[in-house]
Chains A and B, each alone.
Chain A
Amino acid sequence: MSKHDKQEMIVRHKLFDRICHWFIVAVGLVTFLTGFSIFFPSFQWMGAIAGTPQLARFIHPIAGLMMCLPLMLLLARYYHHNKWEKNDLKWMLAIKDVMFENEEGIPPIGHYNPGQKVLFRTFVVTSIVLTVTGIMMWQPYFAPYFSGVVVGWAILLHAICALIMMIFVIVHFWMATWVEGSVAGMLYGKVSKAWCRKHHPLMLDEHSDVEKKH
């Protein structure tokens, strides 16, 4: 048997981060659905996961907070992976090759590709804005402390950010399920070296650097 039968696995997501991520996914589902049910009256049924529209309304901000806080935690932990690097621009210019899997045209990148980094940054910004505006518009606890005009703009911003986040989550979901092996990585923590070589070649260097240090 060749060595390739025994896949060599390396850690990509630590347990804590995985728990965070899937917690976010679970709570996020509630947040999105309830938020969506408020957003589009015709989709009030989406809030039915909470039972009644009133409950959906009640749960949404709580779920939103429960989602955004660990998300920000996760973002803090992954911050160092998401710095802009010199190859990233080239990768971005080759986005067409990325999407159509023309592997030869894709410049090698590290732990995360620039697409993920854009996503990451969007999550950073939207989650902060959603949290701040969400709190400002939260009746009956916080909203009364702000003027109607301010709350009005907060609602608008909240809606815009929620949309952006949702669009990016769709993209994120699409990419995660497209690039097979990454969901497993997020589930079990490890990815194969081959997977790395294919998607994040430079990450292997980082990995060996780390190992050497040990």
Chain B
Amino acid sequence: MASQDIIRRSGTSGMTPAAKGRNSSEQVAKLFDATKCNGCKACQVSCSEWNDLREEVGTFQGSYQNPMSLSGQCWTLMEFHEVMESNKLRWQFTHSACMHCADPACLKACSTSGAIIQHANGVVDFDSDKCIGCGYCASACPFDVPKIDPKDNKAYKCTMCSDRLAVGLEPSCVKSCTTGALRFGSREDMLFYSEKRVAELKEKGFPKAGLYNPEGVGGTAMMMILHDITQPDSYNMPVDPQIPLSVTLWQDWVKPLGAAGLIATAAVACLHKITVGRNIVEEDQPGYQPPEEEVKDKEEDDQ
């Protein structure tokens, strides 16, 4: 039943499509309102709690942020950035986790059948059982999200708590958000709400407020309301995330061309073999009798 709402699988071509049988599934979205977040890390901790993750106890690294980056044991992380804006300090907290791209670079990059799947509701999930830990997803993701856990050499990231969604619960991080900065619902509802909220913020003195839902990856199922949409980098978010060119070249061009090249070479070789035949040194064949002059020449040579 779970597999029937998978609309995309990694390492699977259009010739063997994923199940598209169900079309009732509603697109969902998680919304992070950066203008409301107080950096309490409840989301971070509850993610670990629900998903049974325990990163190592680290050390102080010069800020309130801990751990320093996402990892196999940390699927969402509150980032702390001190941003100066016209002499005013903005202490910016970013809830960083998988964005659940509509057009996920990780899925495109993953060459292992079904290790990354996209559900009909828009959630991008990893099937760790299949994952081979090559890390292609990690390097392809424009948001630097998936991480390989050295312990088992598999890629991990936020699953949007798909186990909770399956039974009608909201993600764990959303549930525990203290300020209402995190919300969850149908994509449509979240877009509707965002529109209202952005208008509200504009009225409240944030003329550049906006929704971060980057086009370059087809939009995301984790969207962000920012005070200043013109500067996503001040939230440590990429300005224009895209599926990297290297991934497109490699998956869409190099692979088919390479395959063709290999087949062509092998074919030519076979053809050559059949047509031209063997290339034998006749002299060395058993029972070979050299023509007279040749023998003479040879003896002269030897002298």
Question: Contact residues of A with B, CB < 8 Å?
Answer: 2-4, 7, 38-42, 44, 53-54, 56-58, 99-101, 137, 139-140, 143-144, 148-149, 151-153, 155-156, 159-160, 163, 166-167, 170-171, 173-174, 178-181, 192, 194-195, 197-199
Contacts and interface: CB of A to CB of B under 8 A. Distances in A.
Contacts of B250: 155-156, 159
Given A41-B11, A54-B133, A192-B284, A151 B113 contact: no
A151 B135 contact: yes
A160 B261 contact: no
Contact of B262 (A100, A153, A167): A167
Contacts of A54: 132-133, 153
A167 B279 contact: no
- A-B pairs, top 9 by smallest CB distance, nearest first, are A41-B11, A139-B135, A194-B283, A151-B139, A174-B269, A163-B258, A152-B246, A57-B132, A148-B139
A59 to B, nearest CB: 11
Contact of B140 (A40, A58, A148, A160): A148
A140 B298 CA distance: 63
B281 A194 contact: yes
Contacts of A180: 278-281
A25 to B, nearest CB: 17
Interface in B271-297: 272-273, 276, 278-281, 283-284, 288-290, 295
A152 B140 contact: yes
A7 B284 CA distance: 7
Given A139-B134, A170-B262, 6 more contacts: A4-B283, A44-B112, A140-B150, A143-B148, A174-B269, A198-B283
Contacts, number: 142
A2 B247 contact: no
Interface in B71-110: 109
B272 A39 contact: no
A132 B160 CA distance: 36
Interface in B1-39: 10-13
Nearest to A56: B132
Contact of B265 (A41, A140, A144, A167): A167
Contact of A148 (B112, B144, B278, B281): B144
B249 interface: yes
- Chain A interface, >50% SS class: helix
Contacts of B11: 41
A181 B269 CA distance: 18
B277 to A, nearest CB: 8
B100 to A, nearest CB: 18
A200 B220 CA distance: 64
Contact of A41 (B112, B149, B280): B112
A166 B139 contact: no
B133 A57 contact: yes
Contacts of A38: 111-112, 132, 134
Given A194-B283, A194-B284, A198-B281, A156 B255 contact: no
A2 B281 contact: no
A58 B250 CA distance: 22
A139 B138 contact: yes
A152 B254 CA distance: 13
B180 interface: no
B139 A155 contact: yes
